[in-house]
Amino acid sequence: MPEIPDDVASLSFEAALAELEKIVGRLEQGQVPLEESIEIYRRGEALKARCDELLRRAEARVETITVGADGAPTGLRPLDPE
């Protein structure tokens, strides 16, 4: 996993994703000089890692409502994606 710079580590999911999309667009155009391509690709890796981290945290917080035999809510339990 790439090291996440401080400025990337403080970004929200939406901000990191928006910047990552801009980087992908620039790289897909093929108009970026080689050295700059390498630099923005590395930043893109850090942004992707940040998005992955935030998604894992969000998944850990997702809960489902448990329901008793009478149909009434009985509590919450962690969502098991499997």
- Dump pLDDT digits (tens) for 55-64: 988 887 777 7
Cβ neighbors of 70 (< 8 A, separation 6 or more) are: none
Please name the residue that has the structure tokens 């090291």.
3
State what percent of residues in the chain have pLDDT above 70. Answer: 93
Let me know: does 46 contact 3? Beta carbons within 8 Å: yes
The pLDDT, as a whole number, for residue 1 is: 58
Dihedral sign (CA 4, 80, 15, 45) = positive
∠ CA 27-28-32 to the nearest 5 degrees?
Answer: 40
Taking 80 as the threshold, does the pLDDT of residue 22 lie above it? yes
Give which of 6, 17, 14, 12 is closest to 47, Cα–Cα.
17
Looking at every residue in the chain, the average pLDDT score rounds to 88
